[in-house]
Amino acid sequence: MFLSIPMSKRRNGSDRSMPPSQNGHASYNPLLQNTIRIRGARQHNLKNIDLELPRDRLIVFTGVSGSGKSSLAFDTIFAEGQRRYVESLSAYARQFLGQVDKPDVDAIEGLSPAISIDQKSTSHNPRSTVGTVTEIYDYMRLLFGRAGEPHCPHCDRSIAPQTIDQMGDRIMELPDRTRFQILAPVIRGKKGTHKKLLSSLSAEGFVRVRIDGEVRELSDSIELDKNQAHTIEIVVDRLVKKPGIEERLIDSLSTCLKHAGGIAVIDIVQEEPTSNQDAGNVVELPLGKNLKAAEKGGKYGDPTTSDSPLSAPLVFSENFACPEHGAVMEELSPRLFSFNSPYGACPGCHGLGSHRKFAADLVIPKPELPVYAAIAPWSDKDNTYYLSLLCSVANAYGFDIQTPWKDLTKEQQHILLHGSKEPIWIE
């Protein structure tokens, strides 16, 4: 709710109508009242005004320059709220905050401690918000992270823990011959070399780990930057979905949950089989110390490259999951509510609050022109390089660069604007 109060219509001292209490004096408890009452405000250019403002509402002060908007909002209301808050602190704390002068006003009743945000913007950083400037953001993250209750985004049901059998049943719903690996995240976004952990995992018989998205052999000399945050996941097992793997799958999930504190990541991958035999069979890789010996004869591609996933990884947790829709999230923590953290930032805008996209009508302002001249960002440059690109794409998809842009098919226009997703030989 916005309450617009033009400053030219404030009451002055000759028109006061504030009812006193029974003993003739105002007796306001700010937490029990629904208004803020200002009497005799004379700060700067204010003319002894009286004012009553509703609490818990959005209020906008409007008026011409010099009408007293800032004098009332910042230099009177905020200044008095800040002064009262500082005076409530101990003498030791007040010595670090300095003296706050009382504004020129007879009385302000119903006022709580106040926060002021400067109306002059000195930063264009998209990560600087009202929440970060006032530091309320940190308290809200703590509140939601510690007192929040997760709900399924599909059915609004409170999310409950998953059992290992439910995890196995969900994985067995994958299409036949789907290749996947079971990962146990043991380190998530922590700085350090983690040498002791890697040595311990090698001693337990594990062969591979995925570090920051890259699969590494534990037998190799792994040197991590101690000043950089790392994510380390144990490659517990690799399987192909088919009937008969249920027992093996449950054993692998049990090992994964034990090492990762109740979390299991199923990384679904697409890998070309090395032979017809590999395409129809699960390559059995025993867990633990026998895994090294079994791996020597196995043939695998890298299942963690960005080119191979069929879909986003499945994340299972013994702590929080919707039994109906399978929506899974990790245990609530403050970092999940931080747009500066990869665990809490929006995957679309990465915490910046905006998406970068181009407008096709600005890239192609004159579609009646031929293709080589219609693309505005390239038309004003020495376009020898770009012309060779256009010619190669035109040859690959059967059109002439002399053709007007508007006469191209929708598919050809889409390829020129968004790419073909297929390699094209450049002449």
**Residues 326/168, Cβ–Cβ less than 8 Å:** no
Residue 378 lies in a domain: yes
Last residue of a domain, one of 77, 109, 141: 109
The answer on 414 and 306 residing in a single domain is no
Residue 137 lies in a domain: no
Residue 44 lies in a domain: yes
The answer on 374 and 239 residing in a single domain is no
The answer, yes or no, to whether residue 17 has pLDDT greater than 60, is: no
Q: How confident is the model at residue 150 (pLDDT cuts 50, 70, 90)?
A: confident
Domain CATH number, residue 260: 3.30.190.20
**Residues 191/230, Cβ–Cβ less than 8 Å:** yes
The answer on 48 and 183 residing in a single domain is no
The answer, yes or no, to whether residue 15 has pLDDT greater than 50, is: no
Task: Please give the pLDDT value at position 270.
Answer: 62
Per-residue pLDDT of 212-248, as tens digits, reads: 989 999 988 899 998 999 999 999 999 999 999 999 9
- CA 132 to CA 135: how far, in whole Å? 5
Residue 65 lies in a domain: yes
The answer on 98 and 47 residing in a single domain is yes
Q: What is the mean pLDDT of residues 290-296?
A: 35
Q: How confident is the model at residue 23 (pLDDT cuts 50, 70, 90)?
A: very low
Residue 124 lies in a domain: no
Out of 45-59, 76-90, 162-176, 326-340, least confident range: 326-340
Residues 6+ apart with CB under 8 A from 284: 248, 294
The answer, yes or no, to whether residue 153 has pLDDT greater than 90, is: no
The answer, yes or no, to whether residue 139 has pLDDT greater than 60, is: yes
Task: Please give the pLDDT value at position 368.
Answer: 92
The answer, yes or no, to whether residue 209 has pLDDT greater than 90, is: yes
**Residues 336/145, Cβ–Cβ less than 8 Å:** yes
Instruction: Identify which of 116, 117, 5 has the alpha carbon closest to the alpha carbon of residue 63.
Output: 5
- Number of Cβ within 10 Å of residue 81's Cβ equals 19
Q: How confident is the model at residue 116 (pLDDT cuts 50, 70, 90)?
A: confident
Task: Please give the pLDDT value at position 299.
Answer: 30
Domain CATH number, residue 94: 3.40.50.300
The answer on 288 and 181 residing in a single domain is yes
Percent of the residues in the chain that have a pLDDT greater than 90, as a whole number: 32
The answer, yes or no, to whether residue 19 has pLDDT greater than 90, is: no
Last residue of a domain, one of 109, 134, 152: 109
Query: Token pair of 90, please?
Result: 């101990």
Query: Token pair of 253, please?
Result: 């999930």
Per-residue pLDDT of 361-402, as tens digits, reads: 889 999 999 888 888 888 765 667 888 888 888 888 888 888
The answer on 381 and 298 residing in a single domain is no
Q: What single-letter amino acid sits at 83? A: R
39 backbone dihedrals φ, ψ, rounded to 5°: -125, 130
Q: What single-letter amino acid sits at 306? A: S
Per-residue pLDDT of 257-269, as tens digits, reads: 999 888 899 998 8
Q: How confident is the model at residue 20 (pLDDT cuts 50, 70, 90)?
A: very low
Q: What is the mean pLDDT of residues 334-357?
A: 86
Residue 24 lies in a domain: yes
Out of 29-33, 200-204, 397-401, least confident range: 29-33
Task: Please give the pLDDT value at position 326.
Answer: 63
The answer, yes or no, to whether residue 101 has pLDDT greater than 70, is: yes
Percent of the residues in the chain that have a pLDDT greater than 70, as a whole number: 79
**Residues 336/344, Cβ–Cβ less than 8 Å:** yes
Domain CATH number, residue 407: 1.10.8.280
Last residue of a domain, one of 297, 323, 349: 323
Measured CA to CA in angstroms, residue 196 lies from 42, 228, 385, 412, 418 at distances of 68, 17, 52, 55, 46
Place of tokens 């009812």: 19
Residue 140 lies in a domain: no
Q: What is the mean pLDDT of residues 51-61?
A: 91
The answer on 280 and 179 residing in a single domain is yes
Structural domain span for residue 34: 2-109
The answer on 408 and 313 residing in a single domain is no
Q: What single-letter amino acid sits at 126? A: P
The answer on 182 and 82 residing in a single domain is no
Q: What global pTM score does this model have?
A: 0.44
The answer on 319 and 173 residing in a single domain is yes
The answer, yes or no, to whether residue 300 has pLDDT greater than 50, is: no
The answer, yes or no, to whether residue 155 has pLDDT greater than 60, is: yes
Q: What is the mean pLDDT of the chain?
A: 79
- CA 136 to CA 143: how far, in whole Å? 10
Place of tokens 């004098």: 71
Q: What is the mean pLDDT of residues 68-78?
A: 92
Residues 6+ apart with CB under 8 A from 172: 241, 246, 249
The answer, yes or no, to whether residue 339 has pLDDT greater than 60, is: yes
Instruction: Identify which of 212, 185, 215, 201 has the alpha carbon closest to the alpha carbon of residue 315.
Output: 185
Q: Give me the number of domains the chain comprises.
A: 3
Q: How confident is the model at residue 295 (pLDDT cuts 50, 70, 90)?
A: very low
Residue 381 lies in a domain: yes
The answer on 251 and 169 residing in a single domain is yes
Q: What is the mean pLDDT of residues 94-116?
A: 86
The answer on 196 and 241 residing in a single domain is yes
Which is more confident, 301 or 188? 188
- CA 176 to CA 245: how far, in whole Å? 11
Strands 58-62 and 2-6: parallel
